Amino acid sequence: MKRERQETVVATETEDEKGKGRMEAEEDGGVDELLAALGYKIRSTDMADVAQKLEQLEMAMGSSAAANDDALLSHLASDAVHYNPSDLSTWVDTILSEFNAPSPPLPPPPLSPAPLQHHFDLPPAGTEQNSTITTVDVPSGPRCQADAYHLDPLHVPAVAGRIVYGSDTQSEVSPPSRDRKRMKLCSSPPSSSSTTDAATSPAALPVVVVDTQESGIRLVHALMACAEAVQQDNLKAADALVKQITVLATSQGGAMRKVAGYFAEALARRLYRPQPARNLGRSTLDFAAFDDMLHQYFYESCPYLKFAHFTANQAILEAFAGCRRVHVVDFGMREGLQWPALLQALALRPGGPPSFRLTGIGPPQPDHSDALQEVGWKLAQFADTIRVDFRYRGFVAASLADLEPYMLLGPDASDRDSEEEPEAVAVNSVFELHRLLARQGALEKVLGTIRAMRPRIVTVVEQEANHNGETFLERFTEALHYYSTMFDSLEGGVSAASDAAVGGGRRDQAMSEVYLGRQICNVVACEGADRTERHEALAQWRVRMGRAGFEPVPIGSNAFKQASMLLALFAGGDGYRVEEKDGSLTLGWHTRPLITTSAWRIASAAC
Amino acid sequence: MYNKTPGWLPRFASATAEGSMLPEEVGEEEGEEEEEGRKGRRRTGFSINDNVDLLAEILGRLDGRSLGVAGCVCRLWSAVGRKDSVWEAVCHRHAAGGGGATRSVVAALGGYRRLYRLCIGPALDRLAGSDGAGLSLSLSLSLSLFSIDCYERLGGRQQQQQQSASLLFLCKPVDVS
């Protein structure tokens, strides 16, 4: 019924503009003649304004129904004072102000709706507009909806992510992007309204308040509220919110939906399985094999691991300059994909290759196959091809803390030392050290073991995020922001690369998402010794390494150039950024750093 | 003198196919060439096909795609076009870097022709497509990627043929629908 009224308003408005505009101005202080015949007194000058407010009113009522805000509607039905609608403009104003009184349970987002007013060139209609606009929904016109989704689906997760992270500082950032989004959206409707197509009524209105961002913001708020509820042990509320999150997530597209899905699942796990979930640890059969496969897909589809390998290799190569015997200890051997490139670079260095020894450390395989030896054999074959003297040793260890220095230095050390020059040792850890933080004292022990080997260089690659905060809510917030950005980058990479690609690219992306989803699950759902994904930012690692007696080694510009070149080769690579910060290199997506490679050596003062 | 577009190529091709003598070099008497080629001997009696080294030298100055096309001219050209030394010249022209030992290492890893096909070619295409912004491809990076690919293809002890996927990110997507 309301819509008809709006249609009438529009129809009469456009008609008026055509023929009878001049006549109206003279009558009764400019009251519109046709509407007056229906019983509604409204000034022609107010027409556009009232039309807009009616639209807002409809949005407010429509969206509150969608949010199951039964309280609001029943309030309107029973407690509301019914105003005389004949003075249409004041009626609409009062109804709108009534909508503000019972404000929605979620706190209003920090965005100011000022951008909205820029478009319509209407006189600012007063403050009651402000909070109402936050609940607007997508209008019925399917064309508008398609436009909204089509134009900027990728911006939604980015903005939503930022909202979570900052507080007020971010609100300056978001309105301009909202502005841009609204600018784009409104460019089409005004043209359609000029065609005076009154049949497609909402599309013809100059009031297009399309917003997928709104549901995105609500989704983020729901996630935060759920995390808070979990922290306060309010299981009922958390349960309800998890369900709401799942529903809201379906209204989103792309990265945001997937991230929300994983977080919702992790929260559900946390709620319904309080005892440590065994299959989130590294112990089961399926997990280990599946994990390796996922790792492989993650390696192929996005540049993070390649970046890690290339920058670490460059640092090791430079540290080994001039050494005739080198020994590399790899804390996470897996498939050994980092080492062919290093072997090749050593083979080509001026002065010829050194004699190379590799010690690989890996977790125990559930089916007792000797994966480490397989990898070693393959590398030996490769080294043989390019004529580099190569020796390999594999170590199976459930945790790095189980290692002792004498194991790693090996039997050769004692005989050879007297004859030839000592080995130059490099220790390499890619996404391994953070696991040690789950056990008290484990990291200190491992760092002590490393020190005992007297390495020339220790390369550490870690996620650039603090997912090891004191409170659950802190960790949740950080993780939400971090993984939103990661998923964004996956989205950007694949979509740019594959206009026609099916199968391969998407499968890689999907598998990489599962890989990240496991991490999310671990951060959110596990506690204590099971929570192994205890990422910490570079600043925190600096403190830890400093305490253990290491000092940073700056990673040179060669690594920077090579990394930049590598990223340029990835389709969709314009979102990736390599940055140098105090001698370490970080790879990030747009403005957010995601992983950091840093290099260390034993502090000279401590020797 | 030799640009990327091998505009002269078809004329060579047509002349060769008829088994008659080839005209010397590009840019000379283009209108007359075909006629004279068809008629038989030219003045000097020089045939590029008799001077394989010269042919290799010329072909080595092409870009990758043109060299591939040149390999379709005739069997001799195909054989010359497959020589790793020719591809070595092409690779060095497009990717900066490399020292003395490079040749043996690359040969061990599979050869320059393979290096170009798997790494340098796709990388150049990717850089040309996106905003290359003056980043020149370095040979060391290409070699690193190449070595990873070579490693992946190595069988394990079981000698199974491995699928190598580490370079997929470079390839243009192929519509397999």
Q: What DSSP letter does each residue of A378-394 carry, written as one string?
A: HHHHHHHHTT--EEEEE
Please write the tens of the pLDDT for every residue from B68-106. 899 999 999 999 999 989 999 888 888 877 667 888 899
**Residue A256 contacts residue A157 (beta carbons within 8 Å):** yes
User: Which of B14, B116, B139 is closest to B62 using CA atoms?
Assistant: B116
Backbone angles phi, psi at A222, to 5 degrees: -65, -40
Contact B35/B42 with Cβ under 8 angstroms?
A: no
pLDDT at A341: 94
Give the pLDDT of residue A430.
94
**Between residues A8 and A542, the one the model is more confident about:** A542
Gap from B176 CA to chain A (nearest CA, Å): 8
Across the interface, of A502, A566, A574, the residue whose CB is closest to B176 is A502
Whether residues B166 and A300 touch (CB distance < 8 A) is answered with yes
State the pLDDT confidence band at A345, using cuts at 50, 70 and 90. very high
Residue A44 has which token pair? Answer: 């022609």
Q: What does the DSSP assignment read for A461-529?
A: EEESS----SSHHHHHHHHHHHHHHHHHHHHHHHHHH-SS--THHHHHHHHHHHHHHHHHHHHHH--GG
Say if the Cβ atoms of A344 and B105 lie within 8 Å: yes
Q: Which residue of B has its CA nearest to A562?
A: B141
Please list every residue in chain A whose beta carbon sits closer than 8 Å to the beta carbon of residue B163: none
| Chain B CA closest to residue A570 | B169
pLDDT at B145 over 50: yes
Beta strand residue intervals within A229-321, DSSP E: none
Average pLDDT over every residue of A71-98:
66
Angle between helices B102-109 and A339-347 (to 10 degrees): 140
Sequence letter at residue B80: V
CB nearest B143 (choices: A336, A344, A387): A344
8 Å CB contact of A377 and B99: no
Under 8 Å between Cβ of A480 and A259: yes
Q: Mark residue A359 as left, alpha or beta (left: phi above 0; alpha: psi -120 to 50; beta: remaining).
A: beta
Check whether A367 has a pLDDT greater than 80: no
Q: A351: alpha, beta or left, given left = phi > 0 and alpha = psi -120 to 50?
A: left
Mean pLDDT of the B32-37 span: 49
Q: Which phi and psi angles does A292 have, rounded to 5°?
A: -65, -40
Using pLDDT thresholds of 50, 70 and 90, give the confidence band for residue A493. Answer: low
Three-class SS state of B117: helix
pLDDT of residue A541: 94
- Residue that has been written with the tokens 């390369």 in this structure: A459
Q: Two tokens at A579? A: 């940055």
The contacts of residue B144 (CB under 8 Å, 6+ apart) are A310, A313, A341, A344, A345
**What are residue A146's phi and psi, to 5 degrees?**
-60, -40
Helix or strand (DSSP H, E) at B106: helix B102-109
C-alpha distances in angstroms, A530 versus A229, A390, A607?
22, 37, 36
Q: Are B134 and B127 in contact (CB under 8 A)?
A: no
B128 in contact with chain A, both atoms CB, cutoff 8 A: no
Q: Which residues of A touch B168 (CB under 8 A)?
A: 300, 504, 508
Inter-chain residue contact A348 with B140, CB threshold 8 Å: yes
Number of H helices, E strands in chain B: 10, 0
CB of A363 within 8 A of CB of A396?
Answer: yes
CB atoms within 10 A of CB A282: 17
Per-residue model confidence as pLDDT tens digits over A393-428: 998 888 888 888 888 876 555 444 555 678 899 999
Strand pairing of A592-602 and A457-463?
Answer: antiparallel
DSSP character at residue A19: I
Per CB-CB distance under 8 Å, the chain A contacts of B167 are: none
Lowest mean pLDDT among A103-107, A505-509, B142-146: A103-107
How many beta carbons lie within 10 A of that of residue A121, not counting itself? 8
Q: Determine phi and psi for B160, rounding to 5 degrees.
A: -85, 155
Closest CA to A267 of A310, A229, A302: A229
Contact B175 A379 (CB under 8 A): no
Mean pLDDT of chain A: 73
The SS3 assignment for A352 reads coil
Residue A503: Cβ within 10 Å count: 12
Burial of B40 (0-12, 13-18, 19+ CB in 10 A): exposed
Question: Does the CB of B162 have a partner CB in chain A at under 8 Å?
Answer: no
**Residue A411: which residues within 8 A CB-CB, separation 6 or more?**
none
**Cα A257 → chain centroid:** 11
Report residue B82 as tokens. 């497959």
Residue owning tokens 């994909």: A337
Q: Which residue has the tokens 């997508």?
A: A138
Q: How far is A328 from chain B (nearest CA, A)?
A: 18
Sign of CA dihedral A224, A230, A234, A236: positive
pLDDT band for position A584 (cuts 50, 70, 90): very high
- Radius of gyration in angstroms for the set of CA atoms belonging to chain B, rounded to a whole number: 19
The whole-number pLDDT of residue A168 equals 37
- Please choose, from the candidates A376, A412, A374, A372, the residue with its C-alpha nearest in 3D space to the C-alpha of residue A396: A372
In this predicted structure, what is the pLDDT of residue A419? 58
Task: Name the residue of chain B whose CA is nearest to A506's CA.
Answer: B173
**Which has more confidence, A22 or A43?**
A43
Question: Do A524 and A267 meet the contact criterion of CB atoms below 8 Å apart?
Answer: yes
> How far is the C-alpha of A418 from the C-alpha of A386, rounded, in Å?
29
* Beta carbons of B151 and A340 less than 8 Å apart: yes
User: Checking DSSP bridges between strand A424-430 and strand A576-581, what pairing results, if any?
Assistant: unpaired
Closest Cβ–Cβ partner in A347, A499, A566 for B173: A499
Q: Helix or strand or coil: residue A251?
A: coil
C-alpha–C-alpha distance, residues A584 and A461, integer Å: 10
Q: Which region among A6-15, A256-265, A569-578, B56-65 has the lowest average model confidence (pLDDT)?
A: A6-15
Residues of B in contact with A503 (CB under 8 A): 176
**What pTM did the predictor assign?**
0.67
Classify burial at A427, counting beta carbons within 10 Å of its beta carbon; exposed 0-12, middle 13-18, buried 19 or more. Answer: buried
Task: Give the model's confidence band at A461: pLDDT under 50 very low, under 70 low, under 90 confident, else very high.
Answer: very high
Binned at pLDDT 50, 70 and 90, residue A494 comes out as low
**A contacts of B130 (beta carbons < 8 Å):** 568, 571, 573-574
- Residue range B55-67: average pLDDT? 90
Provide mean pLDDT across the span A89-103: 68
Side-chain-side CA neighbours of A126 within 13 Å: the count stands at 13
* Rounded Cα–Cα distance for residues A465 and A295 (Å): 20
| Closest residue in A to B102 (Cα–Cα) | A348
**Which pLDDT score, from 0 to 100, does residue A499 have?**
41
Query: Helix/strand/coil (H, E, C) string of A559-599?
Result: HHHHHHHHHHHCCCHHHEEEEEECCEEEEEECCEEEEEEEE
Prediction ipTM score: 0.71
DSSP 8-state symbol, A106 = S
Q: What pLDDT score does A587 carry?
A: 94
Q: Which of A358-362, B44-48, B144-148 has the lowest mean pLDDT?
A: B44-48
Task: Give B-chain residues touching A317 at CB under 8 angstroms.
Answer: none
The residue written with tokens 């540049």 in the block is A303
> Measured between alpha carbons, how far is A576 from A569 in angstroms, rounded to an integer?
11
Number of CB pairs, chain A paired with chain B, less than 8 A apart = 114
Q: Where are the alpha helices (DSSP H) in A134-200?
A: 142-151, 155-165, 169-194
Nearest CA in chain A to B162: A378
Whole-number percent of chain B with pLDDT over 70 = 60
Predicted confidence band at A132 (pLDDT cuts at 50, 70, 90)? very low
Res. A198: pLDDT tops 70: no
The dihedral sign for the CA sequence A245, A247, A250, A251: negative
Can you tell me the distance from the alpha carbon of A35 to that of B63, in angstroms, rounded to the nearest whole number?
75
Query: What is the pLDDT at residue A20?
Result: 44
Cβ–Cβ gap A501/B166 under 8 Å: no
* Lowest model confidence (mean pLDDT) among A190-194, A275-279, B131-135: A190-194
**Between the CA of residue A406 and those of A403, A414, A443, B5, what are the distances in Å?**
9, 11, 18, 63
Strand-pairing partners, residue B60, are none
- Among candidate residues A552, A560, A545, A550, the one with its CA nearest the CA of residue A314: A560
Percentage of the residues of chain A whose pLDDT score is greater than 90: 33
A225: closest CA of chain B, how far (Å): 39
CB-based contact A348 B99, cutoff 8 Å: yes
